[in-house]
């Protein structure tokens, strides 16, 4: 993984965590905090619960990264095929960036399809009622596997690595980058959910995704030409 790819991934993860992730995962944080965490309980125990939830999310992302990285490794059987893969991934990223900006509705149906499924609601209800520490981890796992525009971006980035290891690293960077924003969400909820700030962060992430997508498509095109 070269420096351009690494910086782009970190940049999208950072801005996306302050914008899109607050909107997508904020409901989970508010729900489990209200239902499962006693505000009078010791601060360390509250922190442990939040960390368990976030560790669950990161676990899901790493597993997805390994899976998609393996898929990319199977597909990319030659440099030319890898070039076509990069080109297609780049186009997909541009569409995702435009969708996050609200210019097209590319992600809307994908994000809402699985999240409203009955089994998701049943599993969520069981986990939200459980007092165990493991239930926080389970909620994080569930949240991590739900459809999300930024998860799609990092998943296709994992495919482009054509490696289970680097695919896992890509998703780990994403997951860990979202932890500070969601961990502090309960303390600065008003600021982070403020329309102007969140919109600014989403736009920043969207521009990075579009730029990265154009770069990936260009690299893929050059590879297909043997350059």
Question: Tens digits of per-residue pLDDT, 92-127?
Answer: 778 877 776 777 766 655 555 555 667 777 888 888
Indicate the SS3 state at residue 227.
coil
- Residues (pLDDT < 50) of the chain are 189-194
- Helix H, strand E, coil C: the string for 57-69 is HHHHHHHHHHHHH
The domain segmentation of the chain, as residue ranges, is 3-36+58-224
Question: Tens digits of per-residue pLDDT, 39-69?
Answer: 788 888 888 888 898 899 999 999 999 998 9
Residue 190 has a pLDDT of: 42
Residue 120 has a pLDDT of: 74
0.75 surpassed by pTM: no
Per-residue tokens: 139: 């909620």
Residue 62 has a pLDDT of: 94
Q: Determine whether 140 is exposed, middle or buried from the number of CB atoms within 10 Å of its CB (0-12, 13-18, 19+).
A: buried
Cα 212 to Cα 12: distance, rounded to the nearest angstrom: 9
Residue 114 has a pLDDT of: 55
Cα 155 to Cα 114: distance, rounded to the nearest angstrom: 17
């Amino acid at each position: 993984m070269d420096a351009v790819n690494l910086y782009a991934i970190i940049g999208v993860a950072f801005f996306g965590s302050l914008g899109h992730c607050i909107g997508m995962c904020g409901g989970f944080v508010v729900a489990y905090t209200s239902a499962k965490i006693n505000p009078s309980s010791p601060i360390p125990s509250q922190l442990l619960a939040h960390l368990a939830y976030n560790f669950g999310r990161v676990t899901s992302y790493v597993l997805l990264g390994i899976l998609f990285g393996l898929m990319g490794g199977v597909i990319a059987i030659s440099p030319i095929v890898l070039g076509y893969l990069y080109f297609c991934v780049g186009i997909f990223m541009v569409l995702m960036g435009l969708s996050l900006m609200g210019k097209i509705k590319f992600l809307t149906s994908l994000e809402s399809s699985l999240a409203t499924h009955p089994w998701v609601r049943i599993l969520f209800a069981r986990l939200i009622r459980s007092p165990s520490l493991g239930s926080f981890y389970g909620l994080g796992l569930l949240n991590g596997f739900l459809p999300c525009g930024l998860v799609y971006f990092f998943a296709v980035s994992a495919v482009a690595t054509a490696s289970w290891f680097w695919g896992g690293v890509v998703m780990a960077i994403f997951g860990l980058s979202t932890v500070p924003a969601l961990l502090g969400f309960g303390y600065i909820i008003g600021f982070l959910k403020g329309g102007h700030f969140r919109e600014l962060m989403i736009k920043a992430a969207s521009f990075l995704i579009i730029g990265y997508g154009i770069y990936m498509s260009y690299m893929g095109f050059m590879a297909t030409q043997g350059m």
